[in-house]
């Protein structure tokens, strides 16, 4: 399934070719046991990942409003050790951020060795929302595609593993989610008039997301299109990709050094005395 969702380099993407409702003919009950195993495995792998300090992991979540970026962090990454884990959201740039290049604030938020960071939205907003609202023109967006690709190449060459997930939902699904925010009192806080305003640009966002997926996928940092109308399937696919990536690293805990071995001997001798 993941192969079908992986966008290869220089592949022209049409989001109409990917169904937001796809579950690979699976039902929720079919993956429940496997999902729990993946969660337990992720906890184990994160511990080794943090101890080894050989790599850092950057997880990028992009998607339309209501695609479930927050939910993916809450559910797919449940049980993660908060030590060595952080979530970074990118809102409207501050005055200081606006005085720098658009990648500056993202670069300083990337994870250090042994750490995992989730970008809930990312520097890709600077070729999406800026383009939709005509803050940049098409030629600037194309130039930024190349800059972003080089930026990610630089991160990868310096030990950062990048996993990029586009959470793909249908327009009907978004409508249901927006209505639920109005109908359920506990969800009123989630509703924003800005969500309705952005919904008017649905077709443009789909087009520009397709451009991002087509132009910013590389062998080292491909995009994964994740069908997200079914939350359980979204979480399963994301978690499966993360676990597989960490397993492929074949990391081990650091070897015990001579100093620690000597200290253990001294403690044993003190206890005997």
pLDDT digits (tens, 9 = 90+) for 116-132: 999 999 999 999 999 99
| Overall average pLDDT of the 160-180 stretch | 95
Give the helix ranges, DSSP H, for the chain.
2-5, 28-52, 69-71, 95-98, 104-107, 129-132, 138-157, 171-183, 193-199, 202-215, 231-249, 258-272
Lowest mean pLDDT among 133-147, 186-200, 202-216, 230-244: 186-200
Q: Write the pLDDT tens digit of every residue in 47-73.
A: 999 999 999 999 999 999 999 999 999
Q: From CA 118, how far away is CA 214, in angstroms rounded?
A: 22
Lowest mean pLDDT among 41-55, 84-98, 144-158, 253-267: 253-267
Lowest mean pLDDT among 132-146, 186-200, 225-239: 186-200
More confident residue, 8 or 146: 146
User: What pLDDT does 78 receive?
Assistant: 87
- Cβ distance 226 to 168 under 8 Å? yes
User: Tokens representing 258?
Assistant: 């001579």
Q: What's the sign of the alpha-carbon dihedral 174, 175, 176, 180?
A: positive
C-alpha distance from residue 167 to each of 5, 47, 76, 172, 235 (Å): 11, 27, 13, 15, 10
User: What pLDDT does 73 receive?
Assistant: 94
Q: From CA 205, how far away is CA 210, in angstroms rounded?
A: 8
Which residues are CB-contacts of 229 (< 8 A; sequence separation ≥ 6)? 20, 21, 169, 170, 173
The domains found in the chain, sorted by start residue, are: 2-271 (3.40.50.300)
Smallest CA-to-CA distance from 156 within 60, 84, 45 is with: 60
Secondary-structure breakdown of the chain: helix, strand, coil percentages, each rounded to the nearest 5: 55, 10, 30
Indicate if the pLDDT at residue 273 is higher than 60.
no
- Cβ distance 163 to 224 under 8 Å? yes
User: What pLDDT does 266 receive?
Assistant: 66
Q: From CA 223, how far away is CA 221, in angstroms rounded?
A: 7
Q: From CA 175, how far away is CA 20, in angstroms rounded?
A: 14
User: What pLDDT does 8 receive?
Assistant: 81
**Confidence grade of residue 24 (pLDDT, cut at 50, 70, 90):** very high
Q: From CA 250, how far away is CA 141, in angstroms rounded?
A: 38
Indicate if the pLDDT at residue 263 is higher than 70.
no
Residue for token pair 């443009």: 204
Q: What is the dihedral of CA 89, 82, 248, 28, to 10 degrees?
A: -80
pLDDT above 90 coverage of the chain, percent: 78
User: What pLDDT does 258 receive?
Assistant: 62
Residues counted in the chain: 273
Q: Write the pLDDT tens digit of every residue in 172-218.
A: 999 998 888 887 776 766 767 777 788 999 999 999 999 999 999 99
User: Average pLDDT over the chain, rounded to whole?
Assistant: 92
pLDDT above 70 coverage of the chain, percent: 91
């Amino acid at each position: 399934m993941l192969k079908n969702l992986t966008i290869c380099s220089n592949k022209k993407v049409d989001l109409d070719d990917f169904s937001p409702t796809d579950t690979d003919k699976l039902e929720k009950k079919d993956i429940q046991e496997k999902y729990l195993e993946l969660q337990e495995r992720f906890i184990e792998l994160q511990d080794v990942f943090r101890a080894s300090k050989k790599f850092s992991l950057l997880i990028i979540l992009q998607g339309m409003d209501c695609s479930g970026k927050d939910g993916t962090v809450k559910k797919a990454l449940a049980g993660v050790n908060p030590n060595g884990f952080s979530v970074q959201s990118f809102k409207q740039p501050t005055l200081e951020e606006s005085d720098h290049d658009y990648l500056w604030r993202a670069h300083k938020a990337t994870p250090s060795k042994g750490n995992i960071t989730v970008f809930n939205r990312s520097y890709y907003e600077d070729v999406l929302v800026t383009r939709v609202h005509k803050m940049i023109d098409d030629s600037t967006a194309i130039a930024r595609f190349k800059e972003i690709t080089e930026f990610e190449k630089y991160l990868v060459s310096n030990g950062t593993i990048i996993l990029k997930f586009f959470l793909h939902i249908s327009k009907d699904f978004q409508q249901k989610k927006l209505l639920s925010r109005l109908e359920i009192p506990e969800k009123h806080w989630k509703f924003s008039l800005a969500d309705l305003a952005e919904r008017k640009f649905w077709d443009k966002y789909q087009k520009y997301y397709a451009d991002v997926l087509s132009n910013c996928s590389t062998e080292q940092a491909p995009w994964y299109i994740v069908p997200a109308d079914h939350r359980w399937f979204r979480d399963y696919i994301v978690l499966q990709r993360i676990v597989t990536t960490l397993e492929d690293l074949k990391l081990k805990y650091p070897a015990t050094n001579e100093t620690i071995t000597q200290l253990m001997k001294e403690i044993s001798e003190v206890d005997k005395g």
